[in-house]
Structures are given as structure tokens and as C-alpha cells.
């Protein structure tokens, strides 16, 4: 464990640990691999989980939302990325306390964000109808889909709220300023992650892709453990004011609900126990550019109205 943690935290090589741990280089590498596999196997379910309804209520109450970004780590061969170096992409969702709620690692760095999204399991539970439902009202309209704050490169899905690249009006400029400020949480999270685990800052040419994934997941799990142990909510409490990006009038349900807030029962029909019509309806709602545009416009007006009142 000492050798594994020194390699993860300080990017020490296997032979650098020999003097302290008195193990050969190959034995030290095997210990590090075994340590990462066991951490992921024992703690992955708890510390790499998607937000539960309780987690969502806490996040909404705090008024910050998760983000959606990429961060590279090293590998070789066909994984040469856009910067001319071998890279593997990490897709993640992080909240204000830098807890990482979703991590998808292993896509070659030569691919763009849209291709990564197409392979990511981030919306699997939404499409399957197993995710919690967040209902909120903004600008006099009701929405029943939670959303991520994302870069402009991502598609116009109802689950993404992107910045306005060329804002022209004062209300649009205010919205872009707030959206981009909230999105800094994920960049701060990556900075902390790399400062804690130096192995993520440099290339790892001796490791296989499966080993790199295990190392990445282990670092994220240990990072979330540190956040859970050290983060004190009261230190970050600010004066109570209405959140400009997430309306306070929101409710979280364990599953799909109708417009009256009544739980929709799961009634499997047709093939493989899946309601085919409901399945495609959820995909259509997820990928709706109309809902995306309407939500963005409503948030712009909502923020501007609050600013004017203040």
C-alpha cells in the first residue's frame, strides 16, 4: 500500500520505492495494479455512484450544478490527441464541492466531445427511465428534466444548458457570465485531482489501457473519499439569495412523474420487458433541441428579472 500510494500521489517510479518498501520493481508494479483493482472493486459502487434523490436535493439546495468537461491522461499509439500527444479522455460530472459524480475514461484523445458523448453511459438511466426526476419552474414554465452546464461544443439536448457564445443583449450577457462562472467548478475539480495525484499529470507509457483506467478510477474514488472526509458545508455557506441558474422552486422524485407529480408506474410491454414507445419518447425528449432552446431562453429571462428586482 505504501508503494502504491507513493506512485499515485507523487508519481514515484517503481525503483524509487525500492529503498523504502524493499521490493523489486516488478513486484511494486503488481502491488500498485492490485491496489487499484481492489479499491475500485470495493468502493466503486459507493464513491462512483450517480446522484441519488437525496444527493440531488442537497445539490439543488446549495444552488450549484454539475459540469461536463474533458481532461486528458497519457497513453500511446492510435490515441494521439489533438495536441500531438498520446491522450485518453476523461469525461466527468462534478459539483460545487468537487465531488465527481460520473466518470467515463478510455476514449482516444483524437475524438471530439460529441463522439465521446455518443459512447458515454451518462444518460443511460435517463433513457431507461430509472433516474430521479427533477421538477422546477422557471419564467412561468414547468420543466421536468435536470440539466448539466456544458461547453458550447455539445449538442442542443434538453439536458444541457450551454453558454451563449456571442451575447448581444444585457440579459444574454448576464446569463453567459453566470453560466460560465458556475462551470468553473469542474476545472477546479480537475486541478485538485491532479495536485493530489501526481501520476495523472504525466504520461504512463508502461501501463496498459485497462491498468490506466483502474488507476484513474482509483484516484477519483480516493479523491471523493477525501472530499467526504474534509469538506465542511458550513465553510461555504453564503448569504441566502435566490440562485440565478437554478430556481429554488424545485422538487426531486425517485422516478418518472406526470404533470400532477404522481409517480408513473413501470409497465413493461412488448419486447424484452421494455416499453418501446416510452423508451423512444425518452430519447426524443432528451435530444430535443426545442426544449433546449426554450429552457435557455427562459433562464435568460429568469436571471434578468431577478437582477432587475435586486
> Is residue 281 predicted with pLDDT exceeding 70?
yes
Give backbone dihedrals phi and psi of 153, rounded to 5 degrees, phi first. -75, -20
Lowest mean pLDDT among 23-32, 137-146, 155-164, 220-229: 137-146
Helix (H) or strand (E) holding 294: helix 289-309
Q: What is the pLDDT of residues 228-250, one digit of tens each?
A: 888 766 544 444 444 545 444 57
Given pLDDT bands bounded at 50, 70 and 90, which one contains residue 209?
confident
Contact 49, 43 (CB under 8 A): no
Q: Could you state, in order of their start, the residue ranges of all structural domains in the chain?
A: 1-47, 48-309
Sign for the CA dihedral angle at 77, 82, 83, 89 comes to: negative
In the DSSP assignment, the letter for residue 259 is T
CA distance 106 to 97: 25
Banded model confidence at residue 306, pLDDT cuts 50, 70, 90: confident
Between CA 197 and CA 71 the distance in angstroms is 14
The sign one gets for the Cα dihedral 292, 105, 59, 195 is negative
Q: Quick one: average pLDDT of 66-88?
A: 47
Alpha helix locations (H) across 97-154? 113-119, 124-128
Strands 67-74 and 148-150: parallel
Phi and psi at residue 159, in whole multiples of 5°? Answer: -95, 5
Nearest to 91 by CA among 75, 74, 106, 110: 106
Highest mean pLDDT among 1-15, 138-152, 180-194, 265-279: 1-15
What are the residues whose beta carbons fall under 8 Å from the beta carbon of 217, sequence distance 6 or more? 36, 39, 40, 44, 48, 103, 105
Confidence of residue 262 (pLDDT cuts 50, 70, 90): low
Residue-wise pLDDT for 16-66, tens only, equals: 888 788 888 889 889 999 999 999 999 999 998 888 888 887 777 765 333
* Burial class of residue 44 (count of CB atoms within 10 Å of its CB; 0-12, 13-18, 19+): middle
SS3 for 308?
helix
Q: How many helical (H) and strand (E) elements, i.e. helices and strands, does the chain have?
A: 11, 8
pLDDT in tens, 121-144: 888 888 877 778 888 888 888 888
pLDDT at 150: 84
| Cα-trace Rg, the chain | 21
The 3-state secondary structure of 213-229, one letter per residue: HHHHHHHHHHHHHHHHH
Q: Residue 76's pLDDT is what?
A: 39
Amino acid at each position: 500500500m505504501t508503494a502504491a500510494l507513493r506512485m499515485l500521489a507523487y508519481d514515484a517510479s517503481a525503483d524509487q520505492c525500492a529503498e523504502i518498501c524493499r521490493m523489486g520493481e516488478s513486484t511494486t508494479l503488481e502491488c500498485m495494479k492490485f491496489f487499484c483493482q481492489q479499491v475500485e472493486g470495493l468502493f466503486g459502487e459507493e464513491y462512483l455512484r450517480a446522484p441519488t434523490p437525496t444527493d440531488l436535493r442537497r445539490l439543488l439546495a446549495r444552488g450549484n450544478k454539475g459540469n461536463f468537461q474533458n481532461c486528458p491522461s497519457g497513453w500511446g499509439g492510435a490515441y494521439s490527441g489533438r495536441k500531438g500527444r498520446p491522450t485518453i479522455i476523461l469525461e466527468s460530472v462534478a459539483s460545487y464541492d468537487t465531488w465527481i459524480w460520473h466518470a467515463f475514461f478510455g476514449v482516444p484523445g483524437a475524438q471530439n466531445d460529441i463522439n465521446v458523448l455518443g459512447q458515454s453511459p451518462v444518460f443511460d438511466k435517463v433513457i431507461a427511465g430509472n433516474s430521479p426526476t427533477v421538477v422546477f419552474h422557471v419564467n412561468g414554465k414547468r420543466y421536468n428534466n435536470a440539466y448539466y452546464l456544458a461547453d458550447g461544443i455539445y449538442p442542443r439536448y434538453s439536458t444541457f444548458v450551454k453558454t451563449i457564445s456571442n451575447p448581444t443583449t444585457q440579459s444574454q450577457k448576464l446569463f453567459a457570465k453566470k453560466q460560465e462562472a458556475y462551470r468553473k467548478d469542474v476545472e477546479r475539480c480537475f486541478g485538485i485531482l491532479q495536485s493530489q495525484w501526481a501520476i495523472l499529470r504525466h504520461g504512463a507509457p508502461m501501463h496498459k489501457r485497462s491498468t490506466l483506467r483502474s488507476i484513474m478510477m482509483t484516484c477519483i474514488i480516493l479523491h471523493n473519499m477525501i472530499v467526504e472526509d474534509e469538506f465542511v458545508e458550513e465553510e461555504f455557506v453564503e448569504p441566502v439569495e435566490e440562485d440565478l441558474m437554478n430556481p429554488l422552486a424545485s422538487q426531486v422524485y425517485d422516478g418518472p412523474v406526470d404533470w400532477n407529480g404522481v409517480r408513473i408506474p413501470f409497465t413493461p410491454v412488448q419486447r424484452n420487458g421494455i416499453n418501446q414507445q416510452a423508451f423512444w419518447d425518452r430519447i426524443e425528449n432528451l435530444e430535443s433541441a426545442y426544449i433546449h432552446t426554450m429552457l435557455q431562453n427562459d433562464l435568460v429571462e429568469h436571471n434578468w428579472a431577478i437582477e432587475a428586482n435586486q
